[in-house]
Amino acid sequence: MIKEVIQNAINTQIAREIYSSNLYLSMAGFYTTKNLHGFANWMRIQAEEEMTHALKMFDYLLDRGGKPVLGAIAAPPSEWVSAVKVFEDAFHHEQLVTSWIHELADLAIAERDHATSSMLKWFIDEQVEEEATTGEIYDRLCMIGDNPTALFFLDNELKSRKMAPAPDAKSAK
C-alpha cells in the first residue's frame, strides 16, 4: 500500500500533467488559427504525451493500492503575442514540470518509497528530453526572429512529428 503523503503528491502531479496536456492543446489551437499547422501538430502531440504521463501516474497509484483523486484543472491561456512567445512559455513550463518531478522524487526518497523512486526515474529522464526539445525549438525561433520564410521552413519541419508510445505505457484496462 502506498503512503498517503506519496499518494496525495502523485494526485497533485496527475492534475498538473492534465493541465499540461490542456496547455499544449490550447497552444495547438493558437498555432492553427495562425495557419502554422506544423507547430500545431507538434503541440497537439505534446498534449497527447502529457495525458499519457498523467495516465502513467494514475495507473501507478492503482497498482500500488492507492486511490487516484482527480482535482480541478485550471483553464490554460488561449492567446499569445507571437509564435516565439508560445514556445518560450512551453519551455518555461517544462522547466516548472521538471521542478515538480524533482520535488516528488525528493519526497519519495525522504519517505523511503523505493518503488515510487523507481517509477519517477522514467519521468526524470523524460524531462531531460522535454526541456532539450522545447528549448531547441525556442532557440531556433529566437534566431528566426521576424523572418517569415524561416518560420515557414521550421513550421514545415514540425509537421513530421509523430506520437511515439512510452516504452512501458499500459494499455487501457
Q: Is residue 167 part of a domain?
A: no
Model confidence at 171, in pLDDT bands (50, 70, 90)? very low
Give the rounded percent of residues in the chain with a pLDDT score beyond 70. Answer: 95
Q: Is residue 168 part of a domain?
A: no
Distance CA 124, CA 166 (A): 14
Q: In the predicted model, what is the mean pLDDT of residues 117-137?
A: 97
| Residue 165: predicted pLDDT | 65
Q: Is residue 129 part of a domain?
A: yes
pTM above 0.75, yes or no: yes
Q: What value, to the nearest 5°, has the Cα angle with vertex 121 and ends 90 and 169?
A: 80
Q: What is the pLDDT of residues 57-70, one digit of tens each?
A: 999 999 999 999 99
- Give whole-number Cα distances, 88 to 16, 45, 136, in Å: 19, 18, 11
- Cell numbers representing residue 89 in the block: 512559455
CATH number for the domain that contains residue 149: 1.20.1260.10
The backbone region for 170, taken as left when phi is positive above 0, alpha when psi lies in -120 to 50, beta otherwise, is beta
Q: In the predicted model, what is the mean pLDDT of residues 110-133?
A: 97
Q: In the predicted model, what is the mean pLDDT of residues 61-84?
A: 96
How many other C-beta atoms can be found within 10 angstroms of the C-beta atom of residue 32? Answer: 15
Q: Is residue 132 part of a domain?
A: yes
Q: Is residue 173 part of a domain?
A: no
Phi, psi values for residue 59, rounded to 5°: -65, -35
Q: Which domain holds residue 43?
A: 4-158
| Residue 48: predicted pLDDT | 96
Total count of domains within the chain:
1
